Chains A and B, each alone.
Chain A
């Protein structure tokens, strides 16, 4: 990293000057090795420092995005459900409910590269190559109409991209705009002539669980409340308890192991009572079912084609899919890279079996 080299040279010149005279040192810790620093020091700055070698354009990026990102962010970076929208929202910042995306809000392109390289894909962070990262960033820019699809993004072209909201920020000015107004001895009596209730949370009714209700609906509310109050315990039980094995042949330890492995799947898939489709389908009844069996979930075309060919999920087919999802079903919407360890695959299948009829 250029930053590292710079710090070494500064350090060499300034060793005697840098440490404040009174500073006490304890001789603890050990020297960080250059390989260690470069493994962790990945930050990319607005001036492009820290960018790696490599390149990519939106044409490559579209394909990678579809596999790695679209499960949450949508095929066109438009976002699915509550997941972040990465494109659109231009000229909405001064309106009610502004849409803040990479295009409409983010002031620096470096932030996008930095974040994707370190922290994405969600649940599989830090696995993208530099070329893939450049390509995904280029695709997000393209989705925001900020570059053409053949624009090749690299450290050399990075600063050519103009971010629309680059000038949309000011430094914290509360001390000037607010503190001068809201100081001093406040009013204690006769501060207002009248007070009216202008808005009530109960009218909106978005509070979970113990919502106080209007006196007129006491009975219904009491019943409903009792039911709702019991819910957290039920949910907790569902998360913590290892489900009863369906067949006597399934090893409880393996199921418990599988429940741990399933954490990797939980951001997109739910199982058990009350499970709902999220960015991935619910997985109840998976074992023994034909691929794409959940009504109301929009599976990828390639997956449904496999289903028509007769693909049924069992220990064997599921193991093949989980080992390399994108190879097993080319074009699957599932953004997950796959489980490397066959033991993990065996365990998670054992866990899923407990949610399937024998």
Chain B
């Protein structure tokens, strides 16, 4: 770990510097900056030669941009989850190395040579594929977000975790290379009477899920590359399932078997878990799609404003499992008034969309919120609206509008507002 000022020290120095830059015109330096007037070591001697790191890691100054775990959430890291540092990222693609992990029996090591994928059940030809077989099918590239159904799940009963990483970090967004599941089902000659496919992983949990055939034939991918390189162990190397727009638990890692069936298995992961209990005790099941959602990633509790008043970039992420994001609005006053943010690029279906609000901060406190709209016309609801329909015991699928209370000193806190 490098020696660096604590976030608080950094913040304090930033605010001091910021205090100087309060006028509208550019700041004036009192004394020449030694970083400019004195020759620095990096400008004089050598840096690393090529091959110093055959596979590069982020520079050490960024070593706080890492996945983090909330220990009290689960009994054990083997069956647990951690969180993507979305507060410190920009753009939309999540680097694999800091994309959140969710395991039910740990991240296994499975060699390509030992990999087998079986298709059985209601098919003409039950088949076994090797990894090398999969590489010979026509493949496609698509960028999709994966969001755990429990993302923001700790916030149902109230503002709880103080940071976008912890409230919204069970998400990542990658460009996948894979084979349409339809291609493999056709290869096996699926029976059109089969209404479901059951998919399971090679790890000890198997994490089996039933997926309706309509979805399986539509856009599901059997993927082996992400962001151009092999999947990471923790994301299912060598092969995982991609189920665009649907809850992350269905994206079975280390996928080893696909069974065509006439009825769902009703496995543990689709009955006892990933079902949403309403206020009256009745639970919704088969709540697969992830509804439109957004969050301001900066400023946020882990990314306070450190530069004082003046120009401020408010940025965040928006996504929908039901199509493309068409608009994101931002409020600075807890939802009284809204401004429409700028989308970095037009929204893509079932992929993260980056938004920016380029604004001027007057140093007053803000209650920052963002509100996403997708192409179906759906508008991201408030937590009060969600609670009115679902109560507070749903656990999953909390897509409420998030509020950060930004204070005059630039710090931000996760709060709920009336």
Contacts and interface: CB of A to CB of B under 8 A. Distances in A.
A115 B112 CA distance: 27
Nearest to B268: A115
Contacts of B72: 82, 206
26 contacts: A3-B259, A4-B120, A7-B120, A23-B189, A29-B129, A32-B126, A47-B263, A93-B393, A114-B265, A119-B204, A119-B205, A122-B78, A169-B282, A170-B285, A186-B379, A188-B329, A189-B337, A195-B367, A198-B415, A198-B418, A212-B304, A215-B409, A225-B8, A229-B6, A230-B1, A278-B75
Nearest 3 Cβ contacts at the A-B interface: A94-B281, A195-B334, A82-B75
A249 interface: no
A97 B412 CA distance: 29
A169 B275 contact: yes
A297 interface: no
B162 interface: yes
Q: Chain B: interface residue count, which band?
A: 35 or more
- For B7, B120, B414, B415, which residue has the most chain A Cβ atoms within 10 angstroms? B120
Interface string B263-301: 101111001100101011111111111010000000001
B198 A29 contact: no
A158 B208 CA distance: 22
Interface string B75-115: 11011000000000000000000000000111000000000
Given A201-B160, A225-B7, A174 B105 contact: no
Contacts of B71: 208
A10 B120 CA distance: 12
Contact of A28 (B136, B161, B266): B136
B246 to A, nearest CB: 11
Contacts of A241: none
A29 B7 contact: no
Contact of A186 (B1, B78, B334, B338): B338
- For A24, A172, A218, which residue has the most chain B Cβ atoms within 10 angstroms? A172
Nearest to B276: A172
Nearest to A233: B1
A30 interface: yes
Interface string B391-418: 0110000000000010101011111111
A78 B297 CA distance: 40
B21 interface: no
Interface string A1-42: 001101100110011011110011110111110001100110
B168 to A, nearest CB: 13
A114 B161 contact: no
A160 interface: no
Contacts of B301: 201, 207, 211-212
Contacts of A168: 281-283
Interface stretch (A61-69, A103-111, A328-336): A103-111
B159 A199 contact: yes
B121 interface: yes
Interface residues of A, number: 108
A204 B336 contact: no
Contacts of B268: 111, 114-115, 119
B378 to A, nearest CB: 6
B125 interface: yes
- For A169, A181, A191, which residue has the most chain B Cβ atoms within 10 angstroms? A169
Given A26-B136, A43-B198, A192-B334, 15 more contacts: A14-B124, A19-B124, A29-B129, A43-B259, A106-B272, A119-B268, A172-B288, A182-B379, A183-B379, A186-B373, A197-B405, A201-B160, A207-B70, A212-B412, A215-B407
Contacts of B162: 201-202, 207, 211-212
A68 B72 CA distance: 25
Interface string B130-142: 1001001100000
B272 A30 contact: no
Contacts of B64: 229
B261 A3 contact: yes
B171 to A, nearest CB: 18
Contact of B124 (A18, A172, A215): A18
Nearest to A110: B266
B285 A111 contact: no
B8 A202 contact: no
A199 B189 contact: no
Interface string A115-132: 100110011011000000
B308 to A, nearest CB: 16
A271 B18 CA distance: 47
B412 to A, nearest CB: 7
Contacts of B414: 200-201
A222 interface: yes
B311 interface: no
A197 B416 contact: yes
Given A40-B257, A221-B8, A222-B9, A100 B126 contact: no
Given A43-B208, A82-B74, A200-B405, A169 B283 contact: yes
B259 A200 contact: no
B256 interface: yes
A170 to B, nearest CB: 6
Contacts of B379: 182-184, 186
Interface in A213-267: 213, 215, 218, 221-222, 225-226, 229-230, 232-233, 263, 266-267
A114 B301 CA distance: 43
A252 B283 CA distance: 54
Given A19-B186, A179-B378, A207 B282 contact: no
Contact of A25 (B104, B186, B285, B392): B186
A186 B283 contact: no
Contacts of A31: 125-128
Contact of A195 (B6, B267, B333, B392): B333
Given A83-B75, A111-B272, A195 B373 contact: no
Contact of A169 (B78, B189, B285, B378): B285
A190 interface: yes
B158 A199 contact: yes
Contact of A187 (B76, B127, B338): B338
A10 to B, nearest CB: 6
B272 A105 contact: yes
A207 B205 contact: no
Given A11-B123, A181-B385, A190-B336, A201 B285 contact: no
